[in-house]
Amino acid sequence: MKKILIYIAMQSEAQPIIDTLGLEQVSILPAALPMKSYQGEDGKQQYLIVTGGKSDLYDVDNVGTEPAAVGLQAALNLFDADLVINAGTAGGWQNKGTNIADVFLGKSPVRYHDHRIPIPTFEAYGKGSYPCIDTSDLAKQLNLKQGFISTSNSLDYNEDCDRLMKQNQADCKEMECAALAWVCHLYQKPFLPVKAITDFVDGEHPTAEQFQANLARTCEALRDAIIKILKIV
């Protein structure tokens, strides 16, 4: 059976997918880690979903790059996945024709827009350039968009972020993907990012407001896309 590992930062992004696949919560990850894991199979594929879990210090979901990298690494040590998927939400650009709840498949490379190291030998390392699988056929088959994903640990952005997101030709702005792509690069795992748009980076309303307003329906679109993708990959 093909083994598919799906990392999802937030519980509200993951729950519709966990419910639809009928996965059971399991405690296979090291006890020190706050990430949650859910397992199941459908006869053809074996699934492990890992979410960031909740921070006991701050009582919010563990979004961002550190939980993503630590969680994925711990999971890969226990579950030798044939494919790693990152499902999540992201900001998009209205001026690129993106709509709320659009689903993008990632394009190589996945990069950072907040790791600025202005020393010539370190600059490219800071931005990172980590591969994902070629998603052209999948995008055509399922009528999904393809886009470049740009990662930072901030929900908002400053002028430097903006400049680097432009360099990255970003279609999706989020907070985990490049870290997960890096771990997949280390572990030589095929990586497929799937991002659904909750908010406009170039919109008039504050990101957090848009995010909350659009989260539920965007997560349903994300779930529908993931279920279709799992039938093909």
**Between 26 and 216, CB nearer to ligand SAH:** 216
Among 4, 6, 9, 101, binds ligand SAH (CB under 6 A): 9
* Closest distance to ligand SAH from the beta carbon of 233 (Å): 22
**Is 13 an active-site residue?**
yes
**Between 25 and 154, CB nearer to ligand SAH:** 154
39/55 Cα distance (integer angstroms): 22
**Between 46 and 153, CB nearer to ligand SAH:** 153
Among 176, 181, 191, 222, binds ligand SAH (CB under 6 A): 176
Task: Find the part of the chain contacting ligand SAH (CB under 6 A) among 14-22, 87-95, 119-127, 179-187.
Answer: 87-95
**Is 114 an active-site residue?**
no
Amino acid at 52: G
**Contact pattern for ligand SAH over residues 62 through 81, marking x by CB under 6 A:** -x------------------
Helix (H) or strand (E) holding 206, with range, is none
**Between 38 and 157, CB nearer to ligand SAH:** 157
Structure tokens that stand for 52 in this block: 């960031």
Among 155, 187, 190, 220, binds ligand SAH (CB under 6 A): 155
Q: Characterise 59 by phi-psi region: left (phi > 0), alpha (psi -120 to 50), beta (else).
A: left
Q: Which one-letter DSSP state was computed for residue 171? A: E
Say if CB 4 and CB 69 are below 8 A apart: no
193/149 Cα distance (integer angstroms): 8
Cα dihedral 92/94/100/101 (nearest 10): -50
208 part of the interface to ligand SAH, by CB under 6 A: yes
Residues in the chain: 233
Q: How far is CA 195 from the centre of its chain?
A: 6
Write out the residues near ligand SAH by the rule CB under 6 A.
9-10, 63, 88-91, 155, 173-176, 198-199, 201, 207-208, 211-212
Residues taking part in catalysis: 13, 199
